Structure 1
Amino acid sequence: MIYMRKHIFRAVAFVALSISLWGCASYNDAVAPYYKNVSAANYPQAEKELDKNSLIQKPRNQLLYFMEKGRIAHLRGEYQESNKYFNDADQLLDNGMKSAGDEAVGLLVNSMSQKYKGEDFEKFMIHYYKALNYLYLHQTEDAIVEARRITLQAQEQGDKFNNKDTRYSNDAFSLMLQGMLYESNNDVNNAFISYRNAADIYLKSPDKTYYGTPMPLGLQQDVIRTARLNGFTDEADRYENTFGIKYDAPPASDGGSLIVFWENGRAPIKEQSDLFFTLVRNSNGDFFFDGGGGVMIPFNYTGDRSKVNTKGIESLHVAFPKYVAQVPYYLGADITVNGSTTPFIKAEDINELAFKTLQQRMLNEMGKVLARLAVKKIAEYSLREAAKKDNGKTNSLIEGLGYGVQLYSLFSEKADTRNWQSLPSYISYARVPLQKGANHIEIKMRSANGTSEVKTIDVEGKGGLQFYNYATLR
């Protein structure tokens, strides 16, 4: 019997060590060569690294793979190929990512082993890149379809949080983009509605900011300008009073106008944070996880509560993701067109969105993780109790299984550190007038050490609204 116990302990220790070694690296560590080449703007090599990476090729990471492939194809200027992958990502999301089997994996193993379902703001960003791809492919109607899908995405998010929750359920920048897309199609009525909806999101906040982004002056002007174009004089006057500005739109330029999006830096990465909780029972017999500092999370245990010994569950180790910001190399930028300089204004702070949306769902996510761990712990305790015989001796096999569950629970716990990390840290934009014919444009970016870099492009002014996006992912 002693011989059997010895080999059982060796076996569970080996399994635990294997799980520990397999699970110590974060997603960012495992896909680092890809992101290193993205940051260096070496996009062909980045794509090669992505295609040969075994982790992101796994079925559970299919959504991440499609989003990254779509992003890298967009950066390479392969817009048709880019939308092929973004459409694949859309198809996955439309079909639904949840299943009983996947939920069981999350309960019995860890959330890192489940299918990656995407952050809410990542889903909005798919529409951003798809719309730009379609515009560059001169498929305006398809770009307008993406504009409409932004509204559907917002409604889906609103339903998810019952439209009463203060959590992230809409995206002001996406609504601004929606307005721009409608305007490019000469649909000024829907453009006004989109701009107004975006502005109203900012106005709901006491300081008129939305996830770290003050309301852009350009958005305020777009609301007033399109209101007047529609003949909504009262609306235009009301928003002038609300914004505290007086705005008279300049005459339309012969060459039309250009909206430039500057995508700067890289989205934050996820790392693992380790926390510890104890399971306690109140006077009514209800269970709670106590994390100290006043953090109490209820645990709705459906089993026989009388058989749960909370003293046997001394502590629970929780692995939870945390974001780590990547400081962009460039701090700001201006755009100069035909001798006139305009500053870029921040429109979307993905860095802030990532931190705040994770914080908003933290207690709910932590409750799921703790419930999973508690079930494992209760199973471990039950096995160890069952190993005790009436004659005072111990059943070594059952005892070994109990210790195996203990070690498995300890070493299999792993935070989900996946996210779409090739997204920019933030997006700024500028709307500039174009003259008829050739326009020489300079985008001047400033770094923290005082140096600057200039990107030059040439645009043909031909009337109407055009778009251009430029990425500095370091």
Structure 2
Amino acid sequence: MKYYLRFFVCAIVACIVVACAPTFYEKTYEFNKALAEGNFDAAALMMSQSEKKMSKGRLEFLYLVNSGMVASLQDNFEKSNQDFQKADIFIEDHKKNAFEEGGALLLNPNLTTYPGEDHEKLMVNYFKALNYLEMRQYNEALVECKRMNLRLNQLSDKYKSDKKYKRDAFINVMMGIVYEAFNDPNNAFIAYRNALDIYQNDYAKLFKMPVPDQLKFDLIRTARETGLYDEADKYATQFGMDFQKDDSYAHLTLLWNNGMSPVKAEWGVNFAIIQGSNGYVTFVNKELGLSFPFYCGNDMPAVTWIKAVFPKYVERKNFYKHARLVGADNIAYKFSHAENINAISFKVLEERMLLEFSKSLLRVAMKQSIAARVGQENEGLGAALSILGSASESADTRSWQSLPRDISYTRIPLKEGQTSVEIILTNDKGVEEKKTIPLPQFGKGENVVLPYYSLASYAAKAY
């Protein structure tokens, strides 16, 4: 047997170990469980123990963002932003490695460095901005807004179709919130207006998601604060809302990060191999309406069907379904749902599934062609290599799993000297839980911005 064929056989055998390994979620289950249960110290210990293995190499991005999340949950905002800054630099500097890409194409997609999904990259700036707001560093938070805008422009340039996720409404909402914290109602209004456009024209179609009620109030208010009275009246009429002047001492915007994002699993699909002419074969799955032709030359696969595996998302159900925020006036303010990371994750993967199908089937076709070539010299070895080629198939199940599932927000008035507010969480059984949220010291006219995390969620269903 020729040297390169022997090398390929050994490589496939080695990849079977990878293919038979658990999914990334299964590997990190205890970490996810610790976050869901609010045991952040245990999660931090796990991150520390995995630093040597994950902080460099193929899992660098995931190590940095998870480490940043845990540090923020422990109120270590400077450490958190150091990690997120490294993740930001990783995103900017990451270039595909030809050797890794070749290994992924020939053997297994997990051989590549994980670059992060489009929405995961945007969330890096979101959490950096939250950390700066917690530290009352408004200039730095504003810089993150501008970086968010830059990333959004890059995303829009990447995709041309109106049916693709290329604009993020919530990131524009976040920009408006930060501008308000910076006492810049003019730019806040522009950001809110951009968010409205995306909710109405993108999110309504892609995610069946309505415009958040809080955004409607924010648009009308900032339009009036900027002196755009005609715009304010237009939106008040459009939304059926009356503008009421608010002379409260200060305000709090609370961002409720709820649940945990979906995780990736493997999805197996059977394909019939149809022998064609001129060295072509076609992989066909009639049930899904899929057909992929490949050129194999004289090395036609000996098998008549194969099973290929692809990534799919599996959601994690929220433990808490609703929440209200109660201030010093004892009025309960509802939260407005602003971002569905669960739905966006599914959409992002769906948009590239044809590419995933093509890459996976090309890898299978190459393995089966080499098995056929080996079979010309040794029929038994060729058949064994064909089986080994199928056994070494594995999907890339890596993702940023510490992201919340949903983000909602509300804005309430604060009284001078107020030290806390209360959030009332309602779980999926209808039971209410009351939590106290301490407030930092604030001055007259200040717009305080705080996050609140309730990461309790159910484990991903068996797959």
Q: With the length of structure 1 as denominator, give the TM-score of the two structures.
A: 0.87
CA distance 1:192–1:280, shift in 2 (3 Å): farther
Partner of 1:315 in structure 2?
Answer: 305
Equivalent of 2:268, from 269, 274, 281? 274
Partner of 1:393 in structure 2?
Answer: none
Query: 1:193 and 1:201 mapped to 2: Cα distance?
Result: 13
Aligned to 2:59, the other structure's residue is in SS state helix
Q: Kindly state the Cα deviation for residue 177 of structure 1 after the two structures are TM-superposed.
A: 0.1
Map of 1:183-194 to 2, 5 A cutoff? Answer: 183-194=180-191
Alpha-carbon displacement from aligned partner over 1:98-155 (angstroms, at most 9, x marks no partner): 1212211210222122111111111111111100111222221111011011111111
Maintained 8 Å contact 1:13/1:407? no
Partner of 2:461 in structure 1?
Answer: none
Maintained 8 Å contact 2:67/2:80? yes
Map of 1:72-471 to 2, 5 A cutoff? Answer: 72-161=70-159, 163-205=160-202, 208=204, 211-241=207-237, 243-254=238-249, 256-280=250-274, 288-293=282-287, 295-299=289-293, 301=295, 306-307=297-298, 309=300, 312-338=302-328, 339-385=330-376, 387=377, 396=378, 399=379, 402-403=382-383, 405-459=385-439, 460-462=441-443, 463-471=445-453
Maintained 8 Å contact 1:20/1:411? no
Q: Which amino acid aligns with 1:450?
A: G
Query: 1:56 and 1:138 mapped to 2: Cα distance?
Result: 32
Question: Identity over aligned residues, as a percent?
Answer: 34
Maintained 8 Å contact 1:299/1:367? no
Maintained 8 Å contact 2:259/2:318? yes
Q: Kindly state the Cα deviation for residue 96 of structure 1 after the two structures are TM-superposed.
A: 2.2
Maintained 8 Å contact 1:337/1:441? yes
Bigger Rg over Cα: 1
Partner of 1:31 in structure 2?
Answer: 28
Q: Which amino acid aligns with 1:88?
A: K
Aligned to 2:227, the other structure's residue is in SS state coil
Maintained 8 Å contact 1:30/1:55? no
Q: Which amino acid aligns with 2:144?
A: E
Q: Kindly state the Cα deviation for residue 446 of structure 1 after the two structures are TM-superposed.
A: 1.0
Query: 1:291 and 1:231 mapped to 2: Cα distance?
Result: 60
Q: Kindly state the Cα deviation for residue 299 of structure 1 after the two structures are TM-superposed.
A: 4.1
Partner of 1:391 in structure 2?
Answer: none
Query: 2:367 and 2:240 mapped to 1: Cα distance?
Result: 60
Partner of 2:459 in structure 1?
Answer: none
Query: 2:430 and 2:360 mapped to 1: Cα distance?
Result: 46
Maintained 8 Å contact 1:110/1:412? yes
CA distance 1:314–1:246, shift in 2 (3 Å): same
Q: Kindly state the Cα deviation for residue 22 of structure 1 after the two structures are TM-superposed.
A: 6.0
Query: 2:89 and 2:275 mapped to 1: Cα distance?
Result: 45
Q: Kindly state the Cα deviation for residue 13 of structure 1 after the two structures are TM-superposed.
A: 10
Maintained 8 Å contact 1:192/1:227? yes
Query: 1:446 and 1:253 mapped to 2: Cα distance?
Result: 28
CA distance 1:109–1:252, shift in 2 (3 Å): farther
Q: Which amino acid aligns with 1:290?
A: V
Aligned to 1:449, the other structure's residue is in SS state coil
Task: Name whichever of 57-66 and 142-151 sits farther off.
Answer: 57-66
Maintained 8 Å contact 2:19/2:393? no
Q: Which amino acid aligns with 2:196?
A: A
Q: Which amino acid aligns with 1:247?
A: D
Maintained 8 Å contact 1:258/1:466? yes
Q: Kindly state the Cα deviation for residue 164 of structure 1 after the two structures are TM-superposed.
A: 3.1
Query: 1:196 and 1:284 mapped to 2: Cα distance?
Result: 57
CA distance 1:139–1:306, shift in 2 (3 Å): same
CA distance 1:285–1:14, shift in 2 (3 Å): closer
Maintained 8 Å contact 2:424/2:432? yes
Query: 1:273 and 1:409 mapped to 2: Cα distance?
Result: 17
Matched residues, number: 448
Q: Which amino acid aligns with 1:335?
A: L
RMSD of aligned Cα (Å): 2.8
Q: Kindly state the Cα deviation for residue 288 of structure 1 after the two structures are TM-superposed.
A: 4.1
Maintained 8 Å contact 2:65/2:400? yes
CA distance 1:55–1:27, shift in 2 (3 Å): farther
In structure 2, list runs of 5 or more residues that go unmatched. 457-463
Q: With the length of structure 2 as denominator, give the TM-score of the two structures.
A: 0.89
Maintained 8 Å contact 1:434/1:461? no
Query: 2:104 and 2:155 mapped to 1: Cα distance?
Result: 23
Q: Kindly state the Cα deviation for residue 293 of structure 1 after the two structures are TM-superposed.
A: 2.2
Q: Kindly state the Cα deviation for residue 360 of structure 1 after the two structures are TM-superposed.
A: 2.1
Aligned to 2:58, the other structure's residue is in SS state helix
Q: Kindly state the Cα deviation for residue 307 of structure 1 after the two structures are TM-superposed.
A: 2.4
CA distance 1:14–1:210, shift in 2 (3 Å): closer
Maintained 8 Å contact 1:263/1:472? yes
Query: 2:61 and 2:10 mapped to 1: Cα distance?
Result: 34
Query: 1:342 and 1:439 mapped to 2: Cα distance?
Result: 18
Query: 1:154 and 1:14 mapped to 2: Cα distance?
Result: 40
